[in-house]
Amino acid sequence: MATLFKDVYIADGSREKAERVHLLVSKGRIASITSANENPPSADKIISGRGKMAVIPGFVNAHTHAAMVLLRGLGEEAPLMEWLQNKIWPVEEKLTPEYIYWGTLSAMLEMLASGTTCFADMYFEMEGVAEAVLGAGMKAALCRGITAGEPGKIERSLQNNIELAEKYHGREGLITIQLGPHAPYTVPLEAMKVITDAAKSKGLGVHFHYLETEGELRNLGHDPVKYLADTGLLDVPSLTLAHAVYLDPEADIPSDNVTLVHCPCSNLKLGSGIMPLPAWLERGMPVALGTDGASSNNQLDIWGEMRTAALLHKGANKDPVCITAIDALRMATYEGARAFGFSQKGMIREGWFADLVLVNLDKPHYIGVNDENLAAYLVYAGSSADIAGTMVNGRWVYRNGEYPTLDREEIVQKAREAREAMTTR
């Protein structure tokens, strides 16, 4: 079935100006983009924009722990390590595969409504997460969070992560799998080498928390670049470093196989600090955006991260041009897709996957919008409340408050029950 977006604006992270076009979606892809001044192509279904709708690429949440929506609100306003050790880890002990499954689905309701078409998730019991993703028809980059613990735990987690890759990597074009060593402070150096050897031999990427806090930098015990080199992390097929608040932009980090994930709201809320984003962008480092888990953000809204990132660095650097709205849009869409091996995703281009967000511009805060200023309107005036629909591979997964592929009532009920079971003594 072909869907025509008739006379809509398109904007993405590669266009200096928005364009007013007819955009045809067919067979899961953007089939054609033609000027709105021309006659529109025919289609089975027509969405008439009349210049009051925009189509942008679906957002990619490049770092989260989706099922942590079940832990939202626990231990608010505490430093990272205190929060993890006293509030989060004890409740996480009570998580079951079933809770994680429903928690992930509940997170997906939030993400789809806020325009996210793909999320990079590090957690455990990931088979259920993969099944939830396939059932919803969403895209995801999944890894099993690997941490040290009782003897043999790292080995078992790694094996579990590898089995996840064997079963799900590339499934239906919706899922990619990475290896997920949690962080330098939860995985000993020697075990990191075993994990990076596995990544190299299996051809898998690695998703890793790195230098989120100043304390982590102090305790690392190595030069940060030397740590990445010595552990083999710089030699894996692709490396995604979540947070990187304390990584020096002068550091010799390759930009071809490494992507940083900026999580501004989580870093602000936990008082971790501010990543030196403008310097990374200046040197051409790929940087994507992530929310981190809902218990440290507390939203799963990449549109909000986009706005926060753009504002935060202008203020912190006393420089209103150090990050542009188009930079923010590119970080929120294309960079995350690229980092996790989703090709032809994250830009509005003919032949690329129709992973799209439909934005309603027929609202008071869009008065005055035009092709020159659309990106700035979206980032600074807009919000995910303007989203009229979210599409993955040409199929609606969220449309006008409804979820065509998910049972919202059941998911909310099951997630609520899981939360109660975990927090009631």
Residue 405 CB coordination number (10 Å):
15
Q: Stretches 24-32, 284-292, 344-352, 388-396: which one binds Ni ion (CB under 5 A)?
A: 284-292
CB of 74 to Ni ion, least distance (A): 15
Nearer to Ni ion, 269 or 395 (CB): 269
Q: Stretches 11-19, 292-300, 314-322, 384-392: which one binds Ni ion (CB under 5 A)?
A: 292-300
CB of 210 to Ni ion, least distance (A): 10
Q: Are 106 and 411 in contact (CB under 8 A)?
A: yes
3-state secondary structure at position 17: coil
Nearer to Ni ion, 160 or 186 (CB): 186
- What DSSP state is assigned to residue 235? G
Nearer to Ni ion, 8 or 241 (CB): 241
CB of 198 to Ni ion, least distance (A): 21
Nearer to Ni ion, 148 or 388 (CB): 148
Among 7, 121, 127, 292, binds Ni ion (CB under 5 A): 292
Residue nearest to Ni ion (CB): 292
| Strand positions, DSSP E, 27-110 | 29-35, 45-48, 53-57, 59-64
Applying CB under 5 A, does 301 fall inside the site for Ni ion?
no
CB of 214 to Ni ion, least distance (A): 17
Q: Are 130 and 101 in contact (CB under 8 A)?
A: no
Nearer to Ni ion, 262 or 414 (CB): 262
Q: At what angle do helices 189-202 and 153-168 cross, to 10 degrees?
A: 20
What is the C-alpha separation between 269 and 94, in angstroms, rounded? Answer: 25
Q: Stretches 195-203, 231-239, 247-255, 285-293: which one binds Ni ion (CB under 5 A)?
A: 285-293
Q: Are 124 and 161 in contact (CB under 8 A)?
A: no
What lies within 8 Å, CB to CB, of 94 at 6+ separation is 421, 422
CB of 71 to Ni ion, least distance (A): 12
CB of 227 to Ni ion, least distance (A): 18
Tokens for 419, please give them. Answer: 């939360």
What is the C-alpha separation between 415 and 425, in angstroms, rounded? Answer: 17
Applying the rule CB under 5 A, the residues between 164 and 193 that interact with Ni ion are none
Nearer to Ni ion, 292 or 301 (CB): 292
Nearer to Ni ion, 292 or 335 (CB): 292
Applying the rule CB under 5 A, the residues between 3 and 62 that interact with Ni ion are none
CB of 325 to Ni ion, least distance (A): 26
Tokens for 189, please give them. Answer: 């150096």
Distinct helix (H) and strand (E) counts, the chain: 15, 16
Nearer to Ni ion, 88 or 195 (CB): 88
List, in sequence order, the alpha helices (H) in 47-178. 80-82, 89-92, 97-113, 126-136, 153-168
Q: Stretches 288-296, 343-351, 365-373, 408-416: which one binds Ni ion (CB under 5 A)?
A: 288-296
Closest-CA residue to 134 (of 160, 86, 158, 169): 169
Q: Using CB under 5 A, list all residues that contact Ni ion.
A: 292
